[in-house]
Amino acid sequence: MTDPATRILDISRGAMKGDLRTEIIEGLQADPAQLPSLLLWDDEGLRLFNRLVQSESYYLGGKEGEILRKHVAAITAQVPSGAVIIELGCGQRRRAVSYLALDVSAQELSASVDALEQEFEGAAFVDIRGLHGTYDDCVHWISQGASLGKDVIFLWMGNSMTNGGFDSAQAVLRDAAVACKRNGLGVQFLVSCDACQDPVRLMDAYDVAVPHHRDFILHGLENANRVLGRPVFQPADWTAHAQYDAKHSMVDVSYMPIRELVFHVEDGRPPVSLQPGAKVRAITSGKWSPQQMDAVARGAHLQVEQTWMDDEQIYGRWEDILGGLDDTR
């Protein structure tokens, strides 16, 4: 049983809200305009997202479950006894391991740890704890000498590794690998990635006209108001827009004003002016082919060792990525 005093470790460095405020202000002045995707992932945002993923058209969760059911023995065989699993998001695994779930939402993290403790009640082979913070907080925590045994496996499910694009995914993989190796730890990544590039299927899955999806996206504006400390964004002035960008292999989801808007975000800065139909990026979701996933791994000085896919070959692949190349700097 996990010691309640260390059940959830707060590894955040306390700058999240300030960082978000800066990203909001600077993002609205950028070209193209954007708001940080982290605005979507507070407690309420996660509740709305969990409702969204239950929809039949949102194939990602079903395909990921199919891969796990079909290949669970092969996947778990990659996990050495005594390893520490750090999931970037929350989920489940079953071996003689320490399991650390990372999330920016304290409420969602606590609920996930509760559920896992109940499922594994009485099991002596798994120690379950939570880490409250961001990906960067986790990398910093490891780099500062966190006690994690000798092997660390990062579990990155749900296609979330693609949300920041190729460069961001490479940076997280590379920085995590470097932090572990500098701490004398073996490192491995088990990640999932959506490979679907069918525009019709993608637009059905990301149809922001569906209330569940639209509510999830527009909640980001409400969260932005909380971060800014005043109601800059009026929900009635906005809708959501999604499109598939085949050139960059991603679905691009944006906030879109339905009328001309002029508003001040911060004193001393010029007002933000947006025309009807202008797009302010909310989040992207990469749709990466196996070749693109290989390139991401190589860009992080890693290599793909094993691939598992669903029967239709449209989702994901579990990628067994090992820190196998010589230069991780």
pLDDT in tens, 183-212: 899 888 988 899 999 999 999 999 999 999
Does the predicted model carry a pTM greater than 0.85?
no
Q: How far is CA 112 from the centre of its chain?
A: 16
Please report, for residues 46, 97, 100, 128, 273, the alpha-carbon distance to residue 112 in angstroms, rounded to integers and kept in the order given. Answer: 12, 17, 11, 10, 41
Calpha distance 286→183 (Å, rounded): 31
Residue 326: pLDDT over 70: no
**Residue range 111-116: average pLDDT?**
87
Confidence of residue 115 (pLDDT cuts 50, 70, 90): confident
Q: Quote the pLDDT of residue 14.
A: 61
Instruction: For CA atoms 320, 158, 254, 59, give the dihedral sign.
Output: positive
Q: What is the 3-state secondary structure (H, E, C) of 131-196?
A: EECCHHHHHHHHHCCCCCCCEEEEEECCCHHHCCHHHHHHHHHHHHHHHHHHCCCEEEEEEECCCC
Number of helices (H) and strands (E) in the chain: give both, helices first: 9, 13
For residue 245, pLDDT over 50 is answered with yes
The residue written with tokens 């690998």 in the block is 177
Res 316 pLDDT > 70 = no
| Chain segment 137-158, per-residue pLDDT in tens | 999 999 888 888 888 999 888 8
Neighbours of 212 (CB within 10 A): 16
Q: What structural domains does the chain harbor?
A: 25-53+198-286 (no CATH), 72-194+288-322 (3.40.50.150)
pLDDT at 125 over 70: no
Name the least confident of 18-32, 43-57, 274-288, 303-317.
303-317
Residues 6 or more apart in contact with residue 30 via CB below 8 angstroms = none
Distance CA 105, CA 54 (A): 20
